[in-house]
Amino acid sequence: MTHCNNMDLQSHSTQAIQRLGIGSYSEVFKINIDKPCQPPDSSVTTELAGCILCAGLESSHRDYAIKQITITDKFSIEDFEYEVRCHKFAYEQHPAMFTYIGPVWRTELNDPPLISSNDTPAVSNIVVTAKPSDLIQGPPLGYAYLVTEHMSHLDLFSYYSNKQYVNNPIRPYMKGLLLALLIILDTLHNNLNMVHGDFRDRNIFINYRGPGWKQELLYRGAMFQIDIGGFEVKLGDFGLVENIHPGRPSFIIRDFEFLENIYCQRENWQYMTDSKAEYDAIVGFIRAEFMLDFYALIAKIRQPTQTNKEARRAFWFNKHRLLKTSVYYYELPRRLVDRYLELVYLA
Ligand SMILES: Nc1ncnc2c1ncn2[C@@H]1O[C@H](COP(=O)(O)OP(=O)(O)O)[C@@H](O)[C@H]1O
Ligand SMILES: [Mg+2]
């Protein structure tokens, strides 16, 4: 991993760096790189080019997101390197499904962070979920950085938490959105052999491309042009990724969490379809093809005194015991896409 202790990020931009999000171990900032210190060219190696940031950028984007990760005992540099390796591999194989990931570097031990959240104004519709200090105990061991493409409407959770979409004609179109998500899930498992481990609304990024724009995704040799209301949807945040390895405890069920998000948070999703009938068809599909099995698994370990919430919580803690089957890795994602096409998307 390349080290850098003297980079001035703000000197690459005429605009202020803004804060986009805060996670448990990381903060994410938006930077508009309109003053690169050299032309972006991914073929130039960082050693030769001098500037880690500019040399590694893909020229087609100008707005980027920089994730500043605090390295601690619990969140190590090895975890970070694994996250980056998997993210890069996924993006290289399927750039239309996963967020672009560019330059990556870390600062020296005990160096201060390159970006201080005190100096950066927040993007107006930011939803703060945790402060890094909530989890980090003791002085940080250092900081690591990764640059991704900036997604204009952040993540789905931030999007619908702001409720700005309710009367806004520009919003993701749910029927297409769900097809894209199911194809991404199938590709992740059946093509990349990866468990993402955190496939849910907060890690599903959305970017508005313009009226009439359609997302092109390949599924089993066929190219689908998917109407998501002019939005592009991509999966990001590979912080919990692992290789599929039957028999080993895994985060596999968390790759289906987006289905639960849609199913359980009707107040957020009902605005994203054209008609009530279509909305009912989508929810009915999720119930029949996923939720019923999911509830049956929860029922298996449920204690009579537990509330629904407690039972669900117990389930998340016991998931690796319950799911020893390869169905969740390979068969279910494929079946979900095929059934969705048949029952909802092409019906
Ligand atoms: N490329 C991006 N474009 C827009 N917003 C982003 C981007 N990357 C991260 N964010 C915002 O920051 C939040 C946290 O980023 P994420 O990569 O998911 O980190 P964490 O590992 O802390 O969950 C996201 O939920 C989103 O709101
Ligand atoms: Mg995240």
pLDDT-derived band at 174 (thresholds 50, 70, 90) equals: very high
Is pLDDT larger for residue 199 or for residue 57? 199
Backbone φ/ψ region at 181: left (φ over 0), alpha (ψ -120 to 50), beta: alpha
Please work out whether the CB of residue 150 comes within 6 Å of at least one atom of ligand 1. yes
pLDDT-derived band at 46 (thresholds 50, 70, 90) equals: very low
* Interacting residues of 192 by C-beta distance below 8 A, sequence separation 6+: 89, 90, 93, 94
Is pLDDT larger for residue 249 or for residue 123? 123
Domain segments of the chain: what residues? 1-150, 152-347
Please work out whether the CB of residue 66 comes within 6 Å of at least one atom of ligand 1. no
pTM check: above 0.85: yes
* Interacting residues of 102 by C-beta distance below 8 A, sequence separation 6+: 42, 56, 57, 58, 64, 146, 147, 148, 149
CA 23 – ligand 2 centroid, Å = 7
Please work out whether the CB of residue 26 comes within 6 Å of at least one atom of ligand 1. yes
Residues, CB-to-ion distance under 5 Å, ligand 2: 203, 237
Indicate whether 42 pLDDT > 80: no
Residues above pLDDT 90, as percent of the chain: 45
**For residue 129, what pLDDT is reported?**
57
- For residue 292, the SS3 value is helix
Ligand having the closest approach to the CA of 28: 1
Average pLDDT over residues 293-312: 80
Which residue has its alpha carbon closest to ligand 1 atom 1? Answer: 150
Average pLDDT over residues 176-202: 96
CA 346 – ligand 1 centroid, Å = 33
Indicate whether 14 pLDDT > 80: yes
* Ranges assigned E (strand) in 110-214: 142-149, 194-195, 204-208
Tell me yes or no: is domain 1-150 CATH 3.30.200: yes
Mutate to test the pocket of ligand 1, among 18, 25, 27, 67 (most ligand atoms within 8 A of CB): 67
Spatial distance between the Cα atoms of 330 and 325, rounded to a whole number of angstroms: 10
CA 341 – ligand 2 centroid, Å = 29
**For residue 160, what pLDDT is reported?**
85
Looking at the CA of residue 26, tell me the nearest atom of ligand 1.
Answer: 22
The per-residue pLDDT for range 221-240, each reduced to its tens digit, is 999 999 999 999 999 999 88
Spatial distance between the Cα atoms of 330 and 189, rounded to a whole number of angstroms: 6
Looking at the CA of residue 149, tell me the nearest atom of ligand 1.
Answer: 1
Lowest-pLDDT range, 15-24, 175-184, 252-261, 284-293? Answer: 15-24
pLDDT-derived band at 192 (thresholds 50, 70, 90) equals: very high
Indicate whether 35 pLDDT > 90: no
